[in-house]
Structure 1
Amino acid sequence: MSATVKNPFQHIVEPLDPKDPKQQFYNLSKLGDPRYDRLPFSIRVLLESAVRNCDEFLVKRSDVESILNWKETQTQTVEVPFRPARVILQDFTGVPAVVDFAAMRDAVMKLGGDPEKINPVCPADLTMLIILSPPWHHQSIVSGVLNSLALFPFRSDSLQKNQDLEFDRNRERFQFLKWGSKAFRNMRIIPPGSGIVHQVNLEYLARVVFKYDGYFYPDSLVGTDSHTTMIDGLGVLGWGVGGIEAEAVMLGQPISMVLPEVVGYKLSGTPDKLITSTDIVLTVTKHLRQVGVVGKFVEFFGPGVAQLSIADRATIANMCPEYGATAAFFPVDDVSIQYLAQTGRDTEKLAYITKYLKAVGMFRDYNNVSQDPDFTQVVELDLDTVVPCCSGPKRPQDRIAVSDMKSDFEACLGAKQSFKGFQVAPEHHNAAIPFQFNGKEYTLSHGSVVIAAITSCTNTSNPSVMLGAGLLAKKAIECGLSVKPYIKTSLSPGSGVVTYYLKESGVMKYLSQLGFEVVGYGCMTCIGNSGPLPEPVVESITQGDLVAAGVLSGNRNFEGRVHPNTRANYLASPPLVIAYAIAGTVRIDFEKEPIAINCDGKEIFLRDIWPTREEIQAVERTFVIPSMFKEVYEKIENVNERWNSLVAPSDKLYTWDPKSTYIKSPPFFDGLTMQLEPPKSINDAYVLLNLGDSVTTDHISPAGNIARTSSAARYLTSRGLTPRDYNSYGSRRGNDAVMARGTFANIRLFNKFLNKQAPQTIHLPTGDTLDVFDAAERYQQSGVPLVVLAGKEYGSGSSRDWAAKGPFLLGIKAVIAESYERIHRSNLVGMGVIPLEYLSGDTADSLGLTGRERYTVIIPEQLTPRMIVDVKLDTGKTFQVRMRFDTDVELAYFHHGGILNYMIRKMSEN
């Protein structure tokens, strides 16, 4: 809160400790409003932010009233501002943010301001993520792995070689981020090889309560990754957003969000001793998908929550995108404080965290029903009813009890092609294809496991399931069991702490003997970076048209995501991943059939080697200790020797390399002046694309590999690159020339001009069919503005900054659609692209629009939120649309040409 702005709620500010009057907090209990005590705890976090940041411009008293009155406003599509306490980035999404900040510094200097004013106002943490591709478990060198041997001295020498390889491949991106880490205040960069962003966030970055600038307040965040929600398991409200929103928050701007409904999820009972947290989360995921929680908060309560560790809760919260909620919140309780102590947080922090949260009514006792707030609706799960389970074969919400896996898979084989069907003819269900591997003969059939991966922050953050996997591996080795050598096994922990406690507890060697060696720290099989399977395996799968299986402890198993040769993919707990790897097939009933027969000819059943919760907890209490977390994380920011020795520019302004194809100064601020021009009408615009309903950000934003026939490929070729060096759009997010050429380049884009799926459009003046970028370039060379026509839910799907930046660079001045996805509409506003909405009942078809007309949008000088304006066509027809600038703040952004321009001018003022 700025000292020059009088907060209307200043009267409720008081010291948390009278002995330390300089450290204060907004005591919400002094609002004297009985509605506060009935609010869901997650909504209380939104309220505190609104109260603390109230300035009657960005945040108004009416916003505070809307949140207090949540019981009434939750169903009224009321938008409120939210200023999170911090932002978290991973490097693929962080690079374009740092590029924008560097370019903003240049722009401020050109306007005569102090470029060093451009810094994150809101604290930002950027964790550098390396995407891994695992080897076969008998290989010594991992392709694409980056590790830090100084931090984890028990790693093999081959991983050091991979670290060197990755630094060579990514030097340019690393150097740029190294510059950013020194040039910007309030931005912390966690070096590569440290872990997955969400697990590092949970174990290290989370504050739970901020003590900052003289105030205590709840930790909250937004992050540029959908699984940011993992932190909700620790009582920190957070969710994923797009890059433009993240940059806006970093610059001190609030997020405009619809006040959500909150589904109360009551947990009762005690899980069976053989149940893992993965079993619970897969059960919850299926249940909440059935309930329908898209766009809502889920808040957990009830005595069953007290039975769950923070790692268990974080596993459930991590899967939030898979059941569709915005956030999955577990308010802070005594178990949360114990976790903070276990992970090395100091006693002073624990004391003020507890004292503050109790003072503002945000500390939870899950056994005290009098604390239960009001919810939009309540659903319940009895933990006694949870059974061991997996999910699949194609979606995370399709839960199957382990006892039913064999029969379910066999039913899927013959079922019609669908989420639960492969349509294999009955006479081929028992096909068996022999093959040779390393001089021995093996056989593959439908259901054979060829990938088994313990991966993803979903489960590797949880010591109970990781140690459970280790104990199962130990018992399996002692029983003489092994994994067939052609099965691709891997272990990719979310942080170095996992490797530490697996080694110290003595189970790491058993995991390694079964092929589950640590291949690095980052996203891997869960996002499709499985790497190649052995050629004989691929040949056998192809020859028999087999439905081969992957089993992974991740959170997503959509068709084609894990590996092109595994048509069936199952999410499972880490111990079950090992169990299915040993069995070699998912067509097994573990209750009736042995998992394997050992070398002595003895039948070994899964129950013979499965560890109980008591066994696991005993090992966890002994080996997962605070000193371990402290030792790892005290070194994390400076231990990577290659990162430390990396030479990067030290100037406060970045020196752009004109030869770079990865990092480029964007043209967003070219010609920017301090003077604001009045709004101008869009005159005689052509339609670049005529689109239908449900055009997603996947259709709009550049993603995936760069096709050799694309505009981006032609650009890179002109810069001297060969196809093998094109890399992906994700790796080149810091280069606007590549990203603009990849906008609307999705081969599944359906353009009514062409009446087919293609990344092309018609250049209307000539009738030529061109790639979308090439057509837009012709229009821009002629000085012609562009618009896009669309149907319902334009911009749905994942929030992506380039879905707004790309259209801006193509010269698109406005989109006319029936409706917008909320975040994408906000991102368009942030880039100065006007979101126009047909009036109720109107559509392109009802208005007789073909898209071949020329469009003039009449924009008056005096604008108001949600104003209706005229659109005139060159045919003489006129119709009306609503300008979707929904708040005064959004209008201010528009007058400045976008949120970044707004901030540049603000920072350039003397």
Structure 2
Amino acid sequence: MPLTLRQLSQDILNVKQQQYHYFSLSKAAAELGDISRLPKSLKVLLENLLRWQDDDSVTTEDIRALAAWLKHGHADREIAYRPARVLMQDFTGVPAVVDLAAMREAVQRLGGDVAKVNPLSPVDLVIDHSVTVDRFGNDDAFEENVRLEMERNHERYAFLRWGQKAFNRFSVVPPGTGICHQVNLEYLGQSVWHETLDDGEVAYPDTLVGTDSHTTMINALGVLGWGVGGIEAEAAMLGQPVSMLIPDVVGFKLSGKLQAGITATDLVLTVTQMLRQHGVVGKFVEFYGDGLDDLPLADRATIANMAPEYGATCGFFPVDDVTLSYMELTGRSHEQVALVEAYARAQGLWRNSGDEPVFTSTLALDMSSVESSVAGPKRPQDRVSLRDVPAAFLASNELALNQAQKPCKAVSYRDSRSGQQYQLEEGAVVIAAITSCTNTSNPSVLMAAGLLAKKAVMLGLKPKPWVKASLAPGSKVVSGYLASAGLTPYLDKLGFNLVGYGCTTCIGNSGPLPDEIEKAIRQGDLTVGAVLSGNRNFEGRIHPFVKTNWLASPPLVVAYALAGNMKLNLDSDPIGDDIDGNAVYLKDIWPGPAEIAAAVQLVSTDMFHKEYAEVFAGTPEWQQIEVREAATYNWDIHSTYIRLSPFFDGMDKEPQPVPDILKARVLAILGDSVTTDHISPAGSIKADSPAGRYLLERGVERADFNSYGSRRGNHEVMMRGTFANIRIRNEMVPGVEGGITRYIPGNEQMAIYDAAMRYKQAGIPLVVIAGKEYGSGSSRDWAAKGPRLQGVRVVIAESFERIHRSNLIGMGILPLEFPKGVTRKTLGLTGDEQIDVVNLNQLKPGGTVSVTVTREDGSAEVLSAHCRIDTGNELKYYKNDGILHYVIRNMLR
């Protein structure tokens, strides 16, 4: 038999007296033709296909199709991609481990071997999403928030400790360590992976999928990775390939340098705006150009992090000297750094000056043209120049809609800490948070924030009393270098005390505002603002009473805390008065490039060695959590945190034919850009919501509700919180905000969950209707799991975001797109219609599906909807009622 491409490409690489086997792209090119100008991100995929070629899941035709991409900058072919590892955070990780535990129960019930339910790829779970900013503005804030976190989450943490012992190749990074993406960048990521196999030591590109959409941050290190839903991640760690179409790749050429006073945040907001306008949903973005020579890796990480915000699958930076310098700085071994360079050069993955790969399309940016910016009030792609922020605030929808009804523009309140009387005005900045993975990994912007704070304190400036300020770094290393630069006391003086290491305000863990502030906002129906150094500012996400949210660099976050109002023009208005009563402007306290560079030089390798020496050990409180060692979990029927999920109830060894969807009712009609934040439970739990009522009925005090994210391991809470976002607008109930619908027939208005349960009791399937970009935002698995448990069988939208579409299929929900030119509006849908979707056993990837819409008067209209099951593997998952059902059945076989 002739040799396969896999066999033909095998080669040896010698690095520092160590021999590595690898699959050579240059050897493969002898058969495939010249691939030197293939985008480097696609070269990583090509190596993956070569290494996994088995002439079943990966064929010679797959490999040749990827090589032939060069001819057109496009290839219309499905491939099976196998990442080296999986990264999880605890919000998405807990339900994933719940599902693994539930799979063991199902396999045991069906007579299989529970030991087969184990990760086949390394899995790292970093607990970073559970800390909440309850305490702030004092030296005890960190200890108090950690204490509260451990109290609230003891049950979840005990469950994760069980999982760490019960499952192989599953590691948990304990709470209080850092954000998963930062731990990944500073410690876990290797750029080139290697492992000992039968043939010896094998080297290959470090690749991963993660259960957080900002997994893309690792692309800065030349690691190909992106966010997937928890459902997809579970399948990947259980040995299932990620089914994907060979992507288009958009090249983004960078030239020039940032001007003095311009930050990486300003750059990424500009890049995000450009790429959103260009259209990169479902595509790779690869950065190239000689501007990368001087772009620090932390700045690259800022750009790569926000790939979900510009809509791309990933934002990839090739390996170069900057990569190696960062790996050395962060304490990777000399052997590892040498391997990365040798492997990247041998495989054509190394970035050389003047490289011009072939791309599907290209954009270019001269970085010297970037100006100081923020993004808001509710989308990360809506970049606003700093001087235009007041006008953007005044034009914001919330203010424009409510202006006529507002009883007043300011409310007097008494500060609970000082006892003094103040006026809370329209536009007040009530939250100023240095938070999230985007910027809290970047020494230049964090040092800039500290230097700005120092200058402000020296001049006698103080933050406004209504501002809740916080500092939540992505890594403990940050505290080390801020302290070494002597900047911590100045940040503390302005209220930016350490509140925790993890995701806080950016994911809705901003904690409560002082009672008097919340009361004043409600009393005056005031439109106030939050300024954060994060990547997400969707409505209802940051805090339920804060209607406008603005993304900004860490130094601008500090500046807005001093200014205290979004209506102030920081470009030209004074930010405050010094101790002598003289006006102080932003330019007076903004640090210069030399100051920032000198501070950044203080960041040392020893800091990384110190913080990552025992990264998996955790605090004494973590180590003292007792767990029972057993192959299956001991479920507590009284638990309100961890419950055995019902997804596998009634499952048989073989799948049944997919039933047609007949006489379905519409649960909700939603508009454009409905995010997974709108769909999935997130943030705080309201006492009068279905989830709140459930907890109260089980004796949980209001103060102990915790957040939806912390209760993701309890399907009862999560299904009640699905479609319950306070800002969601269901067009079936015009003029009403929140998770409300009409129950048909009868027209009674009620919570979406309550209506769904009524329909479920009557055996009526449900449909969700939506506009463009349905499911954009974070890769929340509950945005698919929740609707499934509510009885939703199909979502019909104008378009879907990538991860959510995949998650719907993974949960057995059919994603359909309206025919071109047809929308809910052209059809005049009201929600009173009945929907039939038939011939589901004849589904084909990308085919058409007959949808019949029957109106109240009996008239009917038939649509040819576009099936957004895109690949053959996705169709297998759908026909098995979900991806995990498919995996279980394969185990049983």
TM-score of the superposition, structure 1-length normalised? Answer: 0.85
CA contact 2:261–2:592 (8 Å) conserved in 1? yes
Between stretches 794-803 and 228-237, larger displacement belongs to 794-803
What does 1:94-243 align with in structure 2 at a 5 Å threshold?
94-134=93-133, 138-139=137-138, 141-142=140-141, 159-212=142-195, 213=197, 214-243=201-230
Which of 12, 16, 20 is the matching residue for 2:13?
16
Report the CA distance shift for 1:595/1:411 in structure 2 as closer, same or farther (over 3 A): closer
CA distance in 1: counterparts of 2:172 and 2:696, whole angstroms: 33
Matched, 1:463 2:462: no
* CA offset digits 1:22-48 (Å, max 9, x no partner): 731111111224452122122222222
The code of the aligned residue for 1:86 comes to R
The code of the aligned residue for 1:518 comes to L
3-state SS, counterpart of residue 81 of structure 1 = strand
CA distance in 2: counterparts of 1:743 and 1:556, whole angstroms: 20
Deviation at 1:339, TM superposition (A): 0.2
3-state SS, counterpart of residue 647 of structure 2 = helix
Deviation at 1:634, TM superposition (A): 1.3
Which of 23, 26, 44 is the matching residue for 2:23?
26
CA distance in 1: counterparts of 2:468 and 2:734, whole angstroms: 44
Report the CA distance shift for 1:838/1:649 in structure 2 as closer, same or farther (over 3 A): same
User: For the pair shown, which has the larger CA radius of gyration, 1 or 2?
Assistant: 1
3-state SS, counterpart of residue 94 of structure 1 = helix
Percentage identity across paired residues of the two chains: 48
3-state SS, counterpart of residue 295 of structure 1 = coil
CA contact 2:843–2:849 (8 Å) conserved in 1? no
* CA offset digits 1:535-583 (Å, max 9, x no partner): 6666776788766554332233445544566565543322333334345
Report the CA distance shift for 1:550/1:359 in structure 2 as closer, same or farther (over 3 A): same
CA distance in 1: counterparts of 2:661 and 2:519, whole angstroms: 59
The code of the aligned residue for 1:642 comes to E
Report the CA distance shift for 1:460/1:433 in structure 2 as closer, same or farther (over 3 A): same
3-state SS, counterpart of residue 80 of structure 1 = strand
CA contact 1:526–1:556 (8 Å) conserved in 2? yes
CA contact 1:200–1:495 (8 Å) conserved in 2? yes
Match in the other structure for 1:293: 280
Report the CA distance shift for 1:779/1:653 in structure 2 as closer, same or farther (over 3 A): same
Match in the other structure for 2:876: 892
CA distance in 1: counterparts of 2:212 and 2:88, whole angstroms: 8
CA distance in 2: counterparts of 1:440 and 1:818, whole angstroms: 53
Unmatched runs of 5 consecutive residues or more in structure 1 = 1-5, 143-158
The code of the aligned residue for 1:574 comes to P
Unmatched runs of 5 consecutive residues or more in structure 2 = none
3-state SS, counterpart of residue 459 of structure 1 = coil
Match in the other structure for 1:631: 610
The code of the aligned residue for 1:382 comes to D
Between stretches 20-29 and 200-209, larger displacement belongs to 20-29
Match in the other structure for 1:59: 58
What does 1:235-254 align with in structure 2 at a 5 Å threshold?
235-254=222-241
Report the CA distance shift for 1:20/1:9 in structure 2 as closer, same or farther (over 3 A): farther
Report the CA distance shift for 1:490/1:539 in structure 2 as closer, same or farther (over 3 A): same
* CA offset digits 1:194-219 (Å, max 9, x no partner): 11122111111212111124421111
* CA offset digits 1:594-653 (Å, max 9, x no partner): 6554335566555554332223222322x3111110110112210311111101121121
CA distance in 1: counterparts of 2:385 and 2:830, whole angstroms: 52
CA contact 1:35–1:69 (8 Å) conserved in 2? no
CA contact 1:452–1:551 (8 Å) conserved in 2? yes
The code of the aligned residue for 2:781 comes to D
CA distance in 2: counterparts of 1:560 and 1:396, whole angstroms: 14
CA distance in 1: counterparts of 2:595 and 2:439, whole angstroms: 19
CA contact 1:87–1:250 (8 Å) conserved in 2? yes
3-state SS, counterpart of residue 178 of structure 2 = coil
Report the CA distance shift for 1:549/1:744 in structure 2 as closer, same or farther (over 3 A): closer
CA contact 1:470–1:502 (8 Å) conserved in 2? yes
CA distance in 2: counterparts of 1:610 and 1:123, whole angstroms: 44
The code of the aligned residue for 1:332 comes to V
CA distance in 2: counterparts of 1:852 and 1:429, whole angstroms: 42
Match in the other structure for 1:734: 713
Which of 373, 376, 379 is the matching residue for 2:357?
373
The code of the aligned residue for 2:789 comes to L
CA distance in 1: counterparts of 2:392 and 2:768, whole angstroms: 41
Match in the other structure for 1:146: none
CA distance in 2: counterparts of 1:781 and 1:535, whole angstroms: 41
The code of the aligned residue for 1:10 comes to Q
* CA offset digits 1:147-172 (Å, max 9, x no partner): xxxxxxxxxxxx43443332121111
Report the CA distance shift for 1:117/1:555 in structure 2 as closer, same or farther (over 3 A): same
CA distance in 1: counterparts of 2:549 and 2:679, whole angstroms: 28
Matched, 1:39 2:38: yes
3-state SS, counterpart of residue 497 of structure 2 = coil
Between stretches 720-729 and 239-248, larger displacement belongs to 720-729
What does 1:714-725 align with in structure 2 at a 5 Å threshold?
714-721=693-700, 723-725=702-704
3-state SS, counterpart of residue 17 of structure 1 = strand
- RMSD over equivalenced CA pairs, Å: 4.1
Report the CA distance shift for 1:527/1:22 in structure 2 as closer, same or farther (over 3 A): same
Which of 561, 567, 579 is the matching residue for 1:599?
579
Which of 287, 290, 295 is the matching residue for 1:303?
290
* CA offset digits 1:851-894 (Å, max 9, x no partner): 7668584455x876567777899999997777665444334334
CA contact 1:130–1:521 (8 Å) conserved in 2? no
What does 1:615-764 align with in structure 2 at a 5 Å threshold?
615-621=595-601, 623-674=602-653, 676=654, 679=657, 681-682=659-660, 686-687=664-665, 689=667, 691=669, 697=676, 700-708=679-687, 710-721=689-700, 723-745=702-724, 748=728, 750=730, 759-760=740-741, 762=743
The code of the aligned residue for 2:597 comes to Q
Report the CA distance shift for 1:337/1:185 in structure 2 as closer, same or farther (over 3 A): same
Match in the other structure for 2:347: 360
Deviation at 1:112, TM superposition (A): 3.2
Deviation at 1:381, TM superposition (A): 1.9
Deviation at 1:344, TM superposition (A): 0.7
CA distance in 1: counterparts of 2:253 and 2:33, whole angstroms: 24
Matched, 1:348 2:335: yes
CA distance in 2: counterparts of 1:476 and 1:34, whole angstroms: 61
CA distance in 1: counterparts of 2:43 and 2:315, whole angstroms: 15
CA distance in 2: counterparts of 1:658 and 1:104, whole angstroms: 18
* CA offset digits 1:444-463 (Å, max 9, x no partner): 65665444332222211111
Deviation at 1:510, TM superposition (A): 2.5
CA distance in 2: counterparts of 1:477 and 1:886, whole angstroms: 57
Which of 492, 500, 503 is the matching residue for 1:523?
503
Match in the other structure for 1:3: none
Report the CA distance shift for 1:296/1:393 in structure 2 as closer, same or farther (over 3 A): same
CA distance in 1: counterparts of 2:168 and 2:453, whole angstroms: 46
Deviation at 1:253, TM superposition (A): 1.8
The code of the aligned residue for 2:158 comes to Q
Deviation at 1:841, TM superposition (A): 8.5
Match in the other structure for 1:91: 90
3-state SS, counterpart of residue 350 of structure 1 = helix
CA distance in 1: counterparts of 2:815 and 2:566, whole angstroms: 49
The code of the aligned residue for 1:453 comes to A
The code of the aligned residue for 1:644 comes to Q
Between stretches 878-887 and 657-666, larger displacement belongs to 878-887
The code of the aligned residue for 2:26 comes to S
CA distance in 2: counterparts of 1:419 and 1:39, whole angstroms: 47
Which of 494, 505, 510 is the matching residue for 1:514?
494
Deviation at 1:98, TM superposition (A): 0.2
CA contact 2:540–2:725 (8 Å) conserved in 1? no
Deviation at 1:15, TM superposition (A): 1.9
Report the CA distance shift for 1:723/1:288 in structure 2 as closer, same or farther (over 3 A): same
* CA offset digits 1:660-685 (Å, max 9, x no partner): 122111222234444x2552544866
3-state SS, counterpart of residue 194 of structure 2 = strand
Report the CA distance shift for 1:197/1:477 in structure 2 as closer, same or farther (over 3 A): same
CA contact 1:856–1:873 (8 Å) conserved in 2? no
Matched, 1:267 2:247: no
Deviation at 1:897, TM superposition (A): 3.7
